[in-house]
Amino acid sequence: MKIESQNVTDYPNSNTIFMVWRLVDDPKLKEIFQQLSALVLNLNNSVFNRFPDSRASCVMGIGHNAWKILELPTPLPKELVNFEEIRGDKHTAVSTPGDLHFHLRADDKSIIFDMAIEISKLLTPVAESILEIHGFKYWDDRSILGFVDGTENPHNEDRDFFAKIGDEDLQYKGGSYLFTQKYLHNINAWRSLSVEEQEKVIGRSKENDIEMSDDVKPSNSHIALANIEGENGEELKIVRDNMPFGSPSMGEFGTYFISYASTFSTTKKMLTNMFIGDPPGNHDRILDFSTAVTGTLFFIPTKNMLDDFSG
């Protein structure tokens, strides 16, 4: 049987809705989860048939506790755990709850808005919505801090290699580990920096998105700490699909960090570099302006598994 993954390697587009839900104890929970699995498959098929050029998709992730509550296949995916906070001297990658995560994407917001409505109608009797963020494309794929985001993302066949589990775990081949964080930016403090100072924080030029040379780039810049290698110098990457969000009248400006990876240990190594530092104490300078207020790990089952879950 051909393994078909969910749309974890789709490229970012113009509009996104992120939703996190917490399950409640209800006798209909498993029945509704079966219906939900079928709905996710149907939503993807429907939007592709109706709007083939919209780049629309719905990706569902499942947290550790939900996997056990719903009595999904065992053993669990090898690295699916409840994320444990990573505490540095100054900053902390917090751990927050979450049972189900939905990543809705489309160039036309109407499509994902209707998707979110259908998912919410089905889930509301057995789950509580604990996070909903509407992301949008900002200029030429920049974060609200003004720098291009996702420059180091892999492309073409590398996206599959770094985002999806391979033959090393045949039970969950084609699946993916999803880690998410909601970051809030201190935009006034950030804008008080000169462009040159901002570039040193990021490790790239602001206008042209050119990475600084190693002899110029500060060791605590975001690029220096977020780009990681394995023990033998091999390249380690994740597929990011970050999106900016905000409410200017409320003074809220943020980035929803979202990564798909074939192994969570890659993302964890990056987070450790950022929050604890490499060496320890040399934390990512961007964290002085961006605070992580959530942090949750999910597993993305394949479409084949969703079909099985739907009964």
Measured over the CA atoms of residue 224, residue 141, residue 146 and residue 17, the dihedral's sign is negative
Residue 108 falls in the annotated catalytic set: no
Determine contact, residues 202/185, Cβ cutoff 8 Å.
no
In 3-state terms the chain splits into helix, strand, coil percentages (rounded to 5) of 30, 25, 40
Among 214, 233, 28, which residue's Cα sits nearest to residue 127? Answer: 28
Q: How many other C-beta atoms are found inside a 10 Å radius of the C-beta of residue 90?
A: 12
Determine contact, residues 107/15, Cβ cutoff 8 Å.
yes
Report the distance separating Cα 243 and Cα 255, nearest Å: 6
Report the distance separating Cα 251 and Cα 153, nearest Å: 30
Please pick, among 149, 158, 169, 278, the residue that the annotation labels catalytic: 149
Report the distance separating Cα 85 and Cα 200, nearest Å: 27
Please list the active-site residues: 149
